[in-house]
């Protein structure tokens, strides 16, 4: 699907003055908001942004200060799983 956004020329010039691809920035902003609102999973976000590795995705999320919720319960479950595996 193609999506077209109308931006006045003077504003588009101003918004892309730093040389960064405005289309890519718009895609990243939309994708990030959809991920944060729960409409996209991490694999879907990675696919949408065409990241080859999950490390690229993790770096992108970190750069935008988006962190996963990780609770003590999560840690305890992981530790229990490791114990069951004998690790």
pLDDT tens-place string over residues 61-77: 999 999 887 789 888 99
Domain membership flag for residue 2: no
CA–CA separation, 79 and 86 (whole Å): 10
Residues 6+ apart with CB under 8 A from 72: none
Domain membership flag for residue 78: yes
Number of domains in the chain: 1
- Domain coverage including residue 65: 9-84
pLDDT of the residue at 57: 96
Domain membership flag for residue 40: yes
Give pLDDT tens digits for 5-55: 999 999 999 998 888 899 999 999 999 999 999 999 999 999 999 999 999
Instruction: Please tell me the pTM assigned to this model.
Output: 0.74
């Amino acid at each position: 699907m193609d999506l077209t956004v109308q931006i006045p020329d003077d504003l588009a010039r101003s918004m892309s003055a730093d040389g960064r691809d405005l289309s890519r920035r718009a895609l990243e902003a939309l994708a990030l908001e959809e991920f944060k609102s729960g409409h996209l999973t991490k694999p879907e976000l990675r696919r949408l942004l065409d990241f080859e590795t999950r490390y690229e995705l993790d770096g992108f999320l970190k750069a935008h200060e988006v962190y996963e919720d990780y609770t003590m319960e999560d840690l305890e479950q992981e530790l229990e799983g490791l114990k069951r595996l004998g690790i």
